[in-house]
Structure 1
Amino acid sequence: MSDLRPDLAIIAGHVPRGAKVLDVGCGDGELMAELRRSAQVDARGIELDARNVSAAVARGLSVVQGDADTDLANYPDHAFDYAILSQTLQTARAPDRVLDELLRIGRRAFVSFPNFAYWRVRLSLLWRGRMPVTAALPVSWYETENIHQLTVDDFRAFVAERGIGVEQAWFLNGDRHTSAAAANFRAEHAVFLLRR
């Protein structure tokens, strides 16, 4: 699992053997392939980008082309043990509805996202007056798919307002864990395990 992006490694390490998983915005299927290999997980995926769908299917994975904003409504309630949304929430047109669908489809949901309140992002805005380009946000503002920037504290408030339970949360600075207490400032990425 060491080759996985740090947030994906956390998710892969916490999905139990034999679980049924839907990876929403699965990219080229890297996480799905690892889950299938290491934990015999029944993994399915949905991905918007046709090139990524082709790459995932070429790996022998069950992936369909679809849009998280519109196509999750086609899945039945509790069809999966886990629904995964890694680095995709901030790209959704209606992230609140996508999260509702995720928690309807899966008994639990993993959600990971870049933290726009990370201190390097703040410093870039303060000193340079420009949108940052960092390891977590590697492209310029005009190239990014991110349309809803959020912070760790925004997400914590969002789930609390909706009565969504947080079973676990991990906060990352690169590939290192950081404390929950200062996560809004110190974490580059966050991973939450949610349930209704």
Structure 2
Amino acid sequence: MVEPGSRVLDVGCETGDLLDYLIAERGVVGRGIELSQAGVNESVRRGLSVVQGDADTDLQDYPSKAFDYVILSQTLQATYHPRDVLSNLARIGRRAIVSFPNFGHWRVRLKLLWDGTMPVSEALPGAWYETPNIHLCTIRDFTQLCRELDVTIERALALDDRGSDKGIADPARANLRAQHALFLLRADETPI
């Protein structure tokens, strides 16, 4: 989804794996922001331009349209203010790429229904009291938030546990079948 040579901000980049890949394979000019000092240290050790920061509070300081793409991979559900974070992503980048675990997946629902407990899986590792996930959402929840923020979904993928696209044309079906969702977004331009 990222055009070669683009300016990219990876928000919540951890140790910089995605950023490193995009620089090497797509020739992007990449920057990162990471909450953990250990992640920042590892990224910098690898030669990446990464600063310590918090998506909930520090994105507001970035200028509008400063990047071609802003990426938030598997981080939205760990933010305190996902609405504000998504709004800032759409403002900072010409496009935003957001991925998250889908809490509407049939295995999640079944685990809650049969056992009455929060699921633990490859997509959702860790017990409920150890997980960084604080705002759980489904594909349908996310598409509704995009509508509320006037953010256009240009492309969407509903991925199974092997990374295969399950299609997202029918959000109800995607909610049941997808363990992860991946969206390419663009903010609707509104005159000031």
TM-score computed with the length of structure 1 as normaliser:
0.92
Using the alignment, how far apart are the partners of 2:55 and 2:3 within structure 1?
Answer: 24
Does residue 98 of structure 2 align to residue 111 of structure 1?
Answer: yes
Using the alignment, how far apart are the partners of 2:89 and 2:70 within structure 1?
Answer: 6
Unaligned runs of 5+ in 1: 1-13
1:85-96 alignment runs, 5 A limit: 85-96=72-83
1:142-153 alignment runs, 5 A limit: 142-153=129-140
Residue matched to 1:120: 107
Count how many residue pairs are aligned between Structure 1 and Structure 2: 183
Residue matched to 1:167: 154
1:48-71 CA-to-partner distances (Å, cap 9, x unmatched) read: 011111111111000000000111
SS at match of 1:137: coil
Residue matched to 2:186: 195
Does residue 174 of structure 2 align to residue 183 of structure 1?
Answer: yes
Percent of aligned pairs sharing the same letter:
55
Structure 1 position 176, deviation (Å): 1.5
Residue matched to 2:29: 42
Structure 1 position 179, deviation (Å): 2.0
- Counterpart AA for 1:50: Q
| CA RMSD of superposed structures (Å) | 0.7
SS at match of 2:88: helix
Using the alignment, how far apart are the partners of 1:53 and 1:119 within structure 2?
Answer: 36
Structure 1 position 177, deviation (Å): 1.3
SS at match of 1:84: strand
Of residues 173-182 and 59-68 in structure 1, the stretch that sits farther from structure 2 once superposed is 173-182
Structure 1 position 161, deviation (Å): 2.2
2:64 to 55, 72, 77: 77
TM-score computed with the length of structure 2 as normaliser:
0.94
- Counterpart AA for 1:186: R
- Counterpart AA for 1:194: L
1:52-67 alignment runs, 5 A limit: 52-67=39-54
State whether residues 56 and 84 of structure 2, in contact with CA within 8 Å, keep that contact through their aligned partners in structure 1. Answer: yes
Unaligned runs of 5+ in 2: 188-192
